[in-house]
Structure 1
Amino acid sequence: MMNCGLVTEKNDLVPLKSISVEVRVQDHVSTVSSTLLYVNEEERPLEALFVFPLPADAAVCHFSAKIGEQEIVAKVQERETARDRYDDALSSGQQAFLLEESAESPDVFRLSVGCLSPGQNAAVTIIYITELDVQADHSLRFCLPAVLNPRYTPAGAGIVSEISSVCGAAPYTLTLSVHVSSPKPISKLESNCTLDPLVFLRSDHTQATVNLSPGHMFDKDVELFLYYQDTHQPSAVVEAGVATAPSGSLMRDPVVMISLYPEFPEEVMSSLATQGEFIFVMDRSGSMGGMPIESAKDTLLLLLKSLPMGCYFNIYGFGSRFESFFPQSVEYSQDTMDQALKRVKEMKADLGGTEILQPLKHIYSQPCNPDHPRQLFIFTDGEVENTKEVLDLVKHHVHSHRCFSFGIGEGASSALITGMAREGSGHAQFITGTDRMQPKVMQSLRFALQPHVFNISVDWTLPDGVTVDTLSQPIKVLFQGQRALIYAQLKGESSGGFEGKVTVKYRLKDHPVTNQLHFCLKPAGETGLSVHRLAARTRIRSLEQEERSRGADVKGIRRKIVELSVQAGVSSVHTAFIAVNKDSRQTVKGPLLQRRVQTHSHGKQLARPKSKILRAPKDAFERNDSRQERRSRMRSTGSRCSPRRGVSPRCSPSFECVGIADSQPEILLKERLICSSLISTNIPQSFEKCSFLFDSLGKQSDPLLQLVSLQKASGCWDLDVTLADAFGKTEDELTNQKPAQVEGSVWATLLALIWLYGCKIDQRVEWQFVAMKAASWIGSQKVGDLSECVCVGNALLGCQVTKETLGI
C-alpha cells in the first residue's frame, strides 16, 4: 500500500484505480485487509511489478486476486519454487500473481501481476496482522504507509531500484474503515487525517467504528491513535488451533499471547533518580541538514534541561568523522550545561557521510563509572553500510550500557535502529511523518532513568497434562510502562483444571520483584487465528536472526522457516505467495509490456523536474524476457535505496531539479532519488516549529521551549524580563504580584510550574522531568505554606491548578 501506479510509455499513470482498506482492531492487535483494483487500459497484455511498504513485524497471512467473478487464493511456497511457477505461468500465457518479502528488508514487499489482458481488471487483496505500538501518551498507533521512500543502495551492488517519484494528485481513490473492539472501554480515537465521527456500537464503549472522510488524497501516511481506559493492564489471550492441522504442529495446538506491563517498586525508582552517565550521539551527516538538525537541537535542549543534578553526560556528533563536546563525560552542573548548550547552538549537519562505528568504538573505550550506569542515546537517519558490524559491537558491550536508538525520517533503517536497541537492552523509537521528536525522546529518557533489570525468568504453572513451548525469544529487557509480549504454544490436554499462571521474576538492583498473571485456558472467540499467526511470525523472525548469526546448519534453520511459514500461511524471507489462474478459458498472447512503479512525493507537490522520468529502454517493454532476465529484474526491486552519503541534492531553491542528460538513465535515477527524498516539502510536525534558540528565519519561538531554555540546571528560574516574555507578560506584572513572603526565584519557579500544568498539560511527557526538578528545588527552599502563592499565580496566568497537582 503506497502511492503507486503503473506508467505507460507516455508516462501516464493508469492501472491503479482504487485502494480499499478495512482495519479490525482487537485490543492491541490489528488485522488489515487491503484491496487494490487494477485495470489494464492499454492495447497490449501487461505485467505490473511494484514495491510497497508494510510494518516490519507484520504477519502477511493472505493474498488473493479476483479477475471478473473468479477469485484466486494464493498459497505460500518455498521462494524459488514460487518464482519458477510464476515464470512458467507467464511463459504459458497464464495469469499469475506473486507476493514476496524483500530479502534486503522485512518491511518491504514486492507484488508481480502478470498477464493482464487489454481491458481486464484485477482486484488484489492483501491481509496482514500486526501489534500496535504503545506511544508516549499511552495511546496505540496504527499507520497506513502512503509511500515507500528511496533507500540506500551500496555502491557496486548492481541493484537498480524500480522506485521513482512523480508529481500530481493520486490517480486513484482511497477508502478506509476501522472497527475497534476491546475488553476495556474506548476513550477516543484521533488521527492526522480527517475522520467521520466515531460511532460506538455498545453502551459500554467497548466496540466502535470510524471511517476516513471522503476526498482524502493519500499524500501522507494515515495515522490513527487509539486510547483505551486502563490501558496498562496485564492480559492473556488463548486462541484455539485448527483441528485439521497436523498433530503437534503450531497451528493445531492452542496458542497464548501474554501482555505484560511491569510495575517497579517506588522505593527503587526514586533511589536512582540522580545516577547515570548519559551520552547523546547525534548524526550530523549531510542528510540531516535543514529542519531535522534544528529539531534535534531542540531535543538536545530538553534532554540537557531534564538531566538530574549529580549525573554525568557528554554529546557526540558524527559523520565521516566524529567529535565530542568534552574529552570525557563531565558532571552535570550549571557551568557544564551552559557550555553544552552553547555548542548545541552552533551544531550543523556538516560532518559529511554517516560513519557510526568509530564514535561507538571510542565511547566504549572510555572507562565506565560503576555508580553511574551508562545510557547511550543514538540519533540517526540510518544511512550506514556496516549495520552488522555496528550491531555486533553494541552486543559485545551490552553488559556495560543500555542503548536507546532513534530513527529520524521515513528512510531510517529499521534493522539498524531496532537492532541497536535490541542488542543494547534499550528501546527503539522512529520519528516519521507527523511525529514530534521530543515526546518520544523523553519517553526513552524515562526508561533510561529506570534501573537495569537483571535475571529475568518466566515460569508457567499449568494443569496436569498441559505443557508449554515458548515461541518468543527470551525477555532481555523490561521497562515500567512498556508492554512486553510472550507467545507460547500449549500442548496436551488438561485433566481437569482450566486456569494457568505465568510468573515473571527479575531483580532491580538488590530488590527481587515478582509479577504474576492468572489466565483462563478456555480459548477466546472470534480471533481469526491472529494470535497463531503473530506467534508464527515471531518464531520465524527468531529463526531468521539465528540463521544470520550462525555459520553451521543454515540449511536446517532455513528448512524450519519454510516449514513453519507454509504451515501457518505467513510470509518469510524464504517463501512467497503464488497464485496462478489455470482456469482461464484462453491464454494471453503477445509480448508483455513491463511497467515500473511510480510513487508520489510526500505532502505538497514538487515542481515537475525538467528531466524525464526514468523508464526502461523501449525495447524492454516490447520483448518477452527470459526466465533469467525476469528473475534478475525481480530480485533488483525493493532494494534499500536512499541518498548516497555525502551527495547534496541537485535542486534549486524553487525545488526544480536540475536537468540531467537522458543518455545516462542510471545516473538519472540516482539523482531523482536524491531529490525526491531530500527536498520533500511535506515537513513533519516535529520540524514545523523553528528552534527557539536557533531560529535563523526570525519566526516566533515555541513558548514551551522558550520557557525550558531559561531553567537553571538546579531546576529553578530567575525572575526577569525573559521569563515574563515567555508568559506573554511584562516584568513589572510578575514582580508587582509577587507575595512578600517568597523570594524572586521561588516565585518565578512557582509561576513556571503553574504555567506548565495549566497551559501545556497535553505536552506533559516533554516537560515532566523539568517540572520534577523545579518542584524538588522549591521543596529544598523551606518556604512554608505556598497555597496563597499558588492562588495568586493562577490569577496572574489565568490557570486553575492546585498545589497538590504541582507536587510541592
Structure 2
Amino acid sequence: MLSVKLSKITFRAPLSDWLLTALFILLLPSVVLANEDEGGLYVQIEGSEDAMWTQAPQFATNVSMVINGLVNRVKVEQHFTNPTDDWVHARYLFPLPQNAAVDHLIIRVGERIIEGEIQKKQDARKAFNQAASEGKKASLIEQHRTNLFSTQVANIAPNETIVVEIEYQETVHYEDGEFSLRFPTTFTQRYIPGLPENVTQLEATTDERSNNPEPLAELQNGWAVATKQVPDASEITTEYRDPMLEDAIVFTLDADINMGLPIEGVSSPNASLNIDKQSESRYLVSLSDMQIANQDFVLTWRPIATAMPVAAMFVQEIEGERYGLLMAMPPQSNQVSTLPQNITLILDVSGSMYGDSIDQAKQAVIYALNTLDASDHFNLIVFNENAEILSPTPLQATRENIAKVSRIVRGIVADGGTEMLGALELAFASESMQQHLNQLVFITDGAIGNEDELYDFIQQELGSRRLFTVGIGSAPNSAFMQRAAISGKGTYTFISNITEVKSSLKPLFEKLSAPIMQDIVMKWQDESPIDAWPNPIPDLYHTQPLVQSFKIPEGAETLNLEGVLNQDSWEYQIDLPVNRDTKTSGLNVLWARKQIESLSLNPSLSAAQKENQITELGLAHHIVTKHTSLVAIDKTPSRPLDQDAKAHQIRPHAPKNGAVMLQSGLGSDAFLLGGLLMMLVSFTVLHFSPVRSHSRRQGV
C-alpha cells in the first residue's frame, strides 16, 4: 500500500492501482485545462491540432420534503445549466429511495412551465427523440431500477438554465422506536456479469448508432455493453466525476415534519441541520450548508415516550375507490421464547467494497460473531468473482472458533468481481439445523446489475431460512437489499459510516435471536384476503411494526390481523376511520407502487403478463415504472435546425470515502503486468505525440 498527499488530501491505494493511474495519465496527454482567467472546465478533444474546446454542463439539486404522518411528499429540483456557446442535450443518472413513486414532472424555462404526461416507455422515447430532433425543449424521466432513474433534457440553449421538477411519494420508516427517511445523492457502480450474447449484433447496433445517432442513444451510451443478465447495461453505467477536473454537484434539502403526535430528537448522523421547532409535533429542518452529492442523507426523529404509536390508519377516497395505509405494532412481550441460532454470514469482498466499506463490513462480521452464545452455530461465506465457504458444516460458537475466524476476517482484502449468485447458492446448499433459527446475514453494498435473477433464486430456495441484509458504504444499492430481505422474509439494516457499526447492528442481532410475531395474515371482516404487499407478510421482530398499503373493497370496515406470538395464536381488529381525512392524499400511488413490486416478484406470471399489468398500473396512477415514463415537450421549437446539439452525460460523484477498484473476474492485481507493458508503450506514444509537439509550439 502506497500513499500520496496533495495539499490536505491523502490518496491511498495498492501499488497496482498507482501504476494503473500513471498509465491512464500517460495515455491521455491531450487533456489539459484552459485559461484560468476565464474560469470553468474545458476539455480539449483528443488528437486535435487546433484549440478545440468543449465546456462541461453544470448541475445542482434542491430537495424539499413535506411529511404528514407516515407519508412523505418530495419535490426534487434539478438545475441543468449550459455555460457553453453550443446547444446541448444532457442526461443525469441518479438514485431515489427504493419505495419512491415518481408521479409528477414539469420543466421550467424562465417563466414558462411545461407539464409532463405518463406514456408507455417506448412511446415516451419516440416522442422525446422526435422533439429533440425538431429543436423542441423536452424532458424524459425513466426508471432503470426501483431506485435508479434518469433525466434526459433536450435542447438547452447557450448560457441557459432549465429546471426539471420531479415529485414522488414514499412512506416514512419506523423501527426501534425511531422514524427515519433517507435521500440518496449518488450510487455505487454496479457490477455487470456476463458477456455480450451476440458480438455481431452488438457491432451492428454500434454501427447503426454511429451512422444514425438518435439523441437518446447518444445520451445513454454508458461504459458497459448489454449482457444476458443485464440487457440495459449501457443505460446504468455512467462514469463518476473527476474531482480534480470537474466542479462538485451540490444539493440543498429542507423538510417540514408534521407527525400529528409529539416528537423529539430530530437529527442526522451525517449532516449538520438547522432545526426550527414549530410545535410539539411539527419541526422545520434544513441543511446548515450545501452538501456535495456523494452520500445518502439520513434524517431521524423519535416520538416522545408517552406518545409511542400502537396503530395508525389512513384512508383516502379518489375517483370512487378507497385506499388505506396501516402501521400497527405487534404486542411487545418480554417473555419471548428463543431458539439457538444457526447463522451464515455472507461477506462481499469484491472491488466495489474497497476502502471504508470493507472495513465496516469486517467490523460487522466480527461484531456479529461476538453476539453469539455457546449454544449457537455459525458459518462464513466470502465472495467476489468466486465464492468460498469456511466450513462444510456449521461451527459451534465457542470462544476459540470465534477468535480464529475473527483473525481470518481481519486479513481480508477487497478486490475482484461481484458474482452474488454463487455465494447464495453456497448459502442455500449449506446444512440447516433442526430446533435452530436458520438465518443468513448478507453484508454487501449491493453493487450488481442482475437483481431480478437474484430475487427469483432467493424466493425459490429460501425454505425455512430467513435472509437479513446489511447495507455497507455511503451509497449502497438499498433497493436490491430491501427487496432481497422481503423475498427472504427478513429485514434490511443500513450502516452509513464506520462509527455506526455497533449501534446499527445491535438492534438487528437482538431481533435475530427472538422473532416476536410469525405466520401473520391480514383479512377483512368477511374473511376475504386483503390486496396488499408484501405478501406473504414477513416475520416481525421486537419494536418492528407492520406497515401495509392496500385497496379497500366496497363495504369493508374492519381489518382482522392474525399471527403466532410465543407459539400461541393472536388476533387483533382495527376499524377503518369513519371520518374521511381530506388532507390524506397519494395513498393510491403508494398502493400502486407496492402492487408493482408484488407483480415484479411473482414467479407465477410470465414476463409479458408482468409488463402488461405493470404498464396498466403506471398509466392508471400516473407513475414512472419499468415500462412507463414521464415526458414533457414544448410545442414550439427553440433550436434552429441548422445548428446541432451536443450530447453530454452529467456524471455523478463517487460515493464518499470509497475507492475505485476493478470489478472484474481477474481482480486488479492481474492487470499489473499488462499495465507495466502498456506504460512502456505510452512513453513511446508521448514522445512522438503530435499533440505534445503542438503544445510546445503554443508554449504549454
Opposite residue 512 of structure 1, the aligned amino acid is S
Match of 1:238 in 2: 314
Corresponding residue SS for 1:240: strand
Aligned: 1:522 with 2:579: yes
Opposite residue 144 of structure 1, the aligned amino acid is F
Corresponding residue SS for 2:519: strand
| Residues 22-61 of structure 1 aligned to structure 2 (within 5 Å) | 22-61=64-103
**Larger Rg over CA atoms:** 1
Alignment check: 8 A CA contact 1:146 1:222 kept: yes
Match of 1:738 in 2: none
User: C-alpha offsets along residues 700-726 of structure 1, whole Å, 9 cap, x if unaligned?
Assistant: xxxxxxxxxxxxxxxxxxxxxxxxxxx
Higher mean alpha-carbon deviation, 174-183 vs 567-576, is at 174-183
Alignment check: 8 A CA contact 1:19 1:35 kept: yes
Aligned: 1:292 with 2:332: no
Corresponding residue SS for 2:140: strand
The match for 2:668 among 648, 653, 672 is 648
CA distance in 2, matches of 1:263, 1:275: 23
| Residues 188-587 of structure 1 aligned to structure 2 (within 5 Å) | 188-192=265-269, 195=272, 197-202=274-279, 205-230=280-305, 233-242=309-318, 245=319, 252-267=320-335, 269=336, 271-272=337-338, 275-345=340-410, 347-349=411-413, 353-383=417-447, 388=452, 390-409=454-473, 412-414=476-478, 416-432=480-496, 436-451=500-515, 453-461=517-525, 470-474=531-535, 475-492=537-554, 500-508=557-565, 510-527=567-584, 529-546=585-602, 549-550=603-604, 552=606, 554-583=607-636
CA distance in 1, matches of 2:467, 2:667: 29
Seen in structure 2, the aligned counterparts of structure 1 residues 342 and 555 have a Cα distance that, compared at 3 Å, is closer
Match of 2:204 in 1: none
| Residues 647-726 of structure 1 aligned to structure 2 (within 5 Å) | 647-648=667-668
Opposite residue 540 of structure 2, the aligned amino acid is L
CA distance in 2, matches of 1:313, 1:187: 39
Deviation at 1:97, TM superposition (A): 1.1
Deviation at 1:523, TM superposition (A): 2.2
Opposite residue 127 of structure 1, the aligned amino acid is E
CA distance in 1, matches of 2:238, 2:349: 29
Deviation at 1:306, TM superposition (A): 1.7
Match of 2:10 in 1: none
Opposite residue 648 of structure 1, the aligned amino acid is S
The match for 2:141 among 75, 90, 99 is 99
Seen in structure 2, the aligned counterparts of structure 1 residues 12 and 512 have a Cα distance that, compared at 3 Å, is same
Deviation at 1:485, TM superposition (A): 1.6
Match of 1:186 in 2: 263
Opposite residue 316 of structure 2, the aligned amino acid is A
The match for 1:147 among 182, 186, 191 is 186
Deviation at 1:453, TM superposition (A): 4.8
Over the aligned positions, Cα root-mean-square deviation in angstroms equals 3.6
Aligned: 1:115 with 2:155: yes
Normalising by structure 2, we get a TM-score of: 0.75
User: C-alpha offsets along residues 662-690 of structure 1, whole Å, 9 cap, x if unaligned?
Assistant: 99xxxxxxxxxxxxxxxxxxxxxxxxxxx
The match for 2:171 among 131, 143, 148 is 131
Seen in structure 2, the aligned counterparts of structure 1 residues 284 and 604 have a Cα distance that, compared at 3 Å, is closer
CA distance in 2, matches of 1:36, 1:350: 35
Q: How many residues align?
A: 591
Match of 2:33 in 1: none
Alignment check: 8 A CA contact 2:517 2:563 kept: yes
Seen in structure 2, the aligned counterparts of structure 1 residues 82 and 595 have a Cα distance that, compared at 3 Å, is same
Opposite residue 545 of structure 2, the aligned amino acid is R
Query: Unpaired segments of 5 or more residues in structure 2?
Result: 1-39, 45-52, 197-224, 227-232, 673-677, 684-700
Seen in structure 2, the aligned counterparts of structure 1 residues 456 and 580 have a Cα distance that, compared at 3 Å, is same
User: C-alpha offsets along residues 146-197 of structure 1, whole Å, 9 cap, x if unaligned?
Assistant: 3233222334334543333221574566432210101221202112455454
Match of 1:676 in 2: none
Deviation at 1:63, TM superposition (A): 0.7
Deviation at 1:579, TM superposition (A): 0.9
Corresponding residue SS for 1:296: helix
Alignment check: 8 A CA contact 1:232 1:261 kept: no
CA distance in 2, matches of 1:575, 1:198: 38
Alignment check: 8 A CA contact 1:7 1:598 kept: no
Seen in structure 2, the aligned counterparts of structure 1 residues 76 and 595 have a Cα distance that, compared at 3 Å, is same
CA distance in 2, matches of 1:520, 1:642: 55
Alignment check: 8 A CA contact 2:515 2:540 kept: no
Deviation at 1:133, TM superposition (A): 3.0
Corresponding residue SS for 2:579: coil
Query: Unpaired segments of 5 or more residues in structure 1?
Result: 246-251, 495-499, 610-640, 653-657, 664-808
Normalising by structure 1, we get a TM-score of: 0.66
Structure ranking higher in strand proportion: 2
User: C-alpha offsets along residues 288-321 of structure 1, whole Å, 9 cap, x if unaligned?
Assistant: 4454343333333322222133222233333444
Alignment check: 8 A CA contact 1:237 1:524 kept: no
CA distance in 1, matches of 2:539, 2:423: 25
Instruction: State the identity as a percent.
Output: 20
Seen in structure 2, the aligned counterparts of structure 1 residues 379 and 171 have a Cα distance that, compared at 3 Å, is closer
Alignment check: 8 A CA contact 1:26 1:180 kept: yes
CA distance in 2, matches of 1:26, 1:179: 8
CA distance in 2, matches of 1:460, 1:7: 64
CA distance in 2, matches of 1:333, 1:236: 44
User: C-alpha offsets along residues 201-226 of structure 1, whole Å, 9 cap, x if unaligned?
Assistant: 23xx1111122224544454332222
* Higher relative contact order structure (alpha carbons within 8 Å, sequence separation ≥ 6): 2
